[in-house]
Amino acid sequence: MDTGKHSDTQQLVKSAIDGEIIRLEMALEAAHRRLLIFEEKYGVTSEKFMMTLSAEDLEGQDDEYVQWAGEYQLWQRLQEKVNRLQGIEYRDSNILQPT
């Protein structure tokens, strides 16, 4: 693969990853807004809520607690994905070459 095509391919991959980061960050912000509703209503952070909550606490309990826990888990997964994508380094320009 010549240098120009390789550079174009690398830029295409980087653009796709950057686009995915933007989409994930929008979803992350939406999840954060939903978490704030619970936090303001109950006067406790989501982190504190999750630390004091066990699986048994959710069984047969208020649907809002279940929803809050699910929303927090979604927020964590989204954050992990964003962190992984932002951590990608493009040092090895050969990584995108076909084998």
* Dist. CA 99–CA 84, nearest whole Å: 25
- Where helices occur in the chain by DSSP H, the ranges are 3-42, 46-52, 55-58, 63-86
Q: Longest Cα pair distance anywhere in the chain, in angstroms?
A: 62
pLDDT tens profile 1-29? 456 666 788 888 899 999 999 999 999 99
- % of the chain beyond a pLDDT of 90: 51
How far is Cα 78 from Cα 25, in angstroms, rounded to an integer?
8
Beta strands in the chain (DSSP E): none
Exposed e or buried b per residue across 50-85, where buried means at least 16 C-beta atoms within 10 angstroms of its C-beta: eeeeeeeeeeeeeeeeeebbebbebbeebeeebeee
Q: What pTM was estimated for this model as a whole?
A: 0.75
Q: Measured between alpha carbons, how far is 77 from 12 in angstroms, rounded to an integer?
A: 25
| pLDDT tens-digit readout, 60-73 | 567 888 899 999 99
